[in-house]
Amino acid sequence: MDKSIIVLNEPELEFRYAQRMTDPRDGLAIFGPYDTDMSSQPGKLSYIVIGTDKGIPAFKTWADAMNRPAIFAPNGNMRLWPPFPGFEAVFCSEWSSEPIRSYQIDRDRLIKASYHPDKYERTFGVVNFYLEQIERSSKLDENIGVAICIIPDEVWQNCRPESRIADPIGQPISSKRIERRRAGQLEFFDKFNQEQYLLSPDFRRQLKARSMQYGIPLQILRESTLRLTDLNVFGERTLTPLSDRMWNIGTALYYKCGGKPWRLVTARDGVCYIGIAFRRAVEKTACCAAQMFLDTGDGIVFLGEYGPWYSPEMRELQLKKSDACDLLRGILETYEQLEGKSLKEIFLHSRSTISDEEFSGYQEACPIGTKLVGVRVKPDRLHGPRFFRVGKMPVLRGTFCRVNNRTGLLWGSGFKPRIATYDGWETPIPLRIDIQHGDAPIERVAQDIFGLTKLNYNACHLGESQPVTVGFSDAVGEILISNPTVEHRKPQFKFYI
């Protein structure tokens, strides 16, 4: 069949009173969150704050401002940067500028720990400062919705995998010595904690993983993010307008405290979408993780088994039949425990090719009577076509090029009529969609994937460039797989974003 090009309508979201809008900021400002009149709606957000003597006051000032309107639009573009009416006006939930508890960390000790020459030891030590306070808060009688961790920018810069410390405090440690310590080899003079070498050297990933045992979702903020100004100062970190940061942080806090800001109108009853991700652990062995998004928009996270999944022939990571079966069975069992609803259709989204052997394993675990479709969804950065329009603006978001009945190209980024501009930096890259197993109309698959670009509750944007099943697979995989010794894992998606 000849190629054809169409532009998909911007997926609609449902808010209070069953009202529909395409931009979540419009729906929240006019009608309120989807769950406003439900018993599950958090009537008041309860939170704790952990930070230094600079971070805690900064958040107190920010918290006071959360209930005030924030209005500022660079170049007069109110559509790109709409005003933030105030937290209670937007989310119909009480926001207090006073947390349940504030826990202050010694700033000098924290920053000193972040300058340790060993990236594993410095991240482990910095995470411990925050983890001690989270553990303390978990023993309170109050129900804590979210723990807000305020991080000095200096610490944030030092505690990333590729961070380079200009003036480390102490003697550098060689990579060979790190490998010996990871293997558990003792040293005659130095004492060390072997656990720290089995965890991610990334502060955010490690803190998210190790804190799950306390059952409190985290919101991690850099001190500079709390700057209450729209003007960027030379030499300081560049930020988006205050209203945009208020929208994003407010939505994330509401979701992590149990709220549901919006629901995808195009979601179909009994249909779920599972994003499968592979990552390499510290031991250089690959393993897999999966996210599951239901027709309600809720996410469930599941970790698969470790193993040598790399296929030299395909040059991709793929599961064996038995392991694919165990992965999907585990996902569905977790879903049964949390939701207990029957499924009609399951769509698997993977960046890697789904082999025949792998798909047969998924089929074995699939309930009788449930339709199973395997789809590869991958940004086509190298060989994908680039579309251009006359004028300065790029291709429209939602442009879909049907290659054949099993393959298509979808542009999740591009010019957005609602905001009257393109909010990206480079020529939009299409998502290549290949139905590799099972049968489904390619247009329907593209529409579903397009809808899943609007389920990022960690921000409040019109839509992302990738569906949440694929776009967040890196974040989920990095937290789970790069911290393999962490045993207490939570299935709810709010613990990972």
What's the pLDDT tens digit per position in 109-121?
Answer: 999 999 998 899 9
First to last CA, the chain: 41
Q: What's residue 190's pLDDT?
A: 63
Of the candidate ranges 23-27, 332-336, 380-384, the one whose mean pLDDT is the lowest:
380-384
Query: Which is more confident, 483 or 285?
Result: 483
CB 320 within 8 A of CB 361: yes
Of 152, 57, 162, 149, give the one whose Cα is nearest residue 114.
152
Q: What's residue 46's pLDDT?
A: 96
How many Å apart are CA 20 and CA 311, to the nearest integer? 45
pLDDT in tens, 199-212: 999 999 999 999 99
Residues 186 and 302 in one domain: no
DSSP state of 391: S
Average pLDDT over the chain reads 90
CB 431 within 8 A of CB 409: yes
pLDDT band of residue 253 (cuts 50, 70, 90) is very high
Looking at 239, 256, 273, which one is the last position of a domain?
Answer: 256
- pLDDT value at 229 more than 80: yes
Other beta carbons less than 10 A from residue 336's beta carbon: 13
27 occurs within a structural domain = no
pTM of this prediction? 0.93
- pLDDT value at 1 more than 60: no
What is the CATH classification number for the domain harbouring 217? 3.40.50.2300
DSSP codes of every residue in 419-452: TTB---SS---PEEEEEEES---HHHHHHHHHHG
Residues 243 and 271 in one domain: no
Residues 294 and 229 in one domain: no
Looking at 256, 289, 317, which one is the last position of a domain?
Answer: 256
Residues 440 and 477 in one domain: yes
Q: What's residue 176's pLDDT?
A: 73
Residues 163 and 281 in one domain: no
Residues 199 and 229 in one domain: yes
Looking at 200, 232, 256, which one is the last position of a domain?
Answer: 256
Residues 249 and 270 in one domain: no
Residues 248 and 337 in one domain: no
Residues 322 and 237 in one domain: no
Task: Count how many domains the chain has.
Answer: 2
Range of the domain at 176: 42-256
Of the candidate ranges 119-133, 217-231, 292-306, 356-370, the one whose mean pLDDT is the lowest:
292-306
Region label for 398, one of left (φ > 0), alpha (ψ between -120 and 50) or beta (otherwise)? left
Query: Which is more confident, 118 or 89?
Result: 89
